[in-house]
Amino acid sequence: MGYPVSEQLRLMHVHAHPDDESSKGAASTARYVAEGVEVLVVTCTGGERGSILNPKMDRPEVLANISEIRRKEMNSAREILGVEQEWLGFVDSGLPEGDPLPPLPDGCFGLMSVEKAAEPLVEIMRRFRPHVVTTYDENGGYPHPDHIMCHKITVAAFEAAADPTRYVGSGDPWQPLKLYYHHSFSRMRLQALGDAMEKRGLTSPYTEWLAEWDGDENWDDRVTTRVECAEYFSVRDRALLAHATQIDPDGSWFAVPLELAQQAWPTEDYELVTSHVSTQTPEDDLFAGLR
């Protein structure tokens, strides 16, 4: 096991689409930026096949320029969060729907080989030299093909970046020290927020979701690390709203009043998957063992 580092700490989030960086872990990101951590968001695709989820933005001219608009939205969110950001440049797979599911479109991210798709991420890891890397769990957080592929290439790059025999020519080897998965939508969190809403006489936005919950019953047990970041929830909300095509300001994202959310569930939660430094779980810091 390694020892604490004395240099500036660096954190890399690997996400599938623009807006994922704002809907998953954004408040803890803002906290770490405020603490002086250098944070890089890597976005695998441009979100080209994403639907327009905000009815106020559902206009023909928006759909016709969705790639350009989503890049601008990402830039606005990046500025709000105070992070650096890079694109891997892969093409959004879309979310197939139907029974049976249709095939994914040719050339999309979800159909790439993991070995090939991990290469540009290895190059960025070796150049940025993160101490901590985060991404989604093996199910992508939810089973979107781009989220699952994002998981696969992040795990592959985390393992390959330190190996001088792999991806020769993609920079000097670098060993990231910790790998985490996001756990943004745990049953326990949704239940706590919903209960807090109902105690105030408000309607929980999660009632139907929880009643139909078909997720892993042991999901909550996988959380190892809860990062206190309630004071940055407002930064997260502003970053979310920057993705105007994806986030309806009158929708469920903002159904829970800010003050209530800060009281009922003041953390963002992660699962420590790999650590090359000595640490003990449960943790309250992604950099536990490194400071």
| Residue 157 token pair | 């790059």
| Residue 212 token pair | 């139909």
Residue 137 annotated as lining a ligand binding site: no
Q: What are phi and psi of 248, to 5 degrees?
A: -85, 115
| Residue 47 token pair | 């979100």
Residue 182 annotated as lining a ligand binding site: no
| Residue 177 token pair | 């020290």
Cα separations in angstroms, 90 against 4, 112, 114, 121:
35, 9, 12, 11
DSSP string over the chain: -B----S--EEEEEESSTTHHHHSSHHHHHHHHHTT-EEEEEEEE--TT-----GGG--HHHHHTHHHHHHHHHHHHHHHHT-EEEEEEEPP-----SSSPPPPPTT-GGGS-HHHHHHHHHHHHHHH--SEEEE--TT-SS--HHHHHHHHHHHHHHHHTT-TTSSTTS-S-----EEEEE-TT-HHHHHHHHHHHHHTTPPPTTHHHHHT--S-TTGGGG--EEEE-GGGHHHHHHHHHH-TTT--TTSGGG-S-HHHHHHH--EEEEEEEEESB---SSBS-TTTTT-
Residue 147 annotated as lining a ligand binding site: yes
Residue positions forming the annotated binding site for Zn(2+): 17, 20, 147
Residue positions forming the annotated binding site: 17, 20, 147
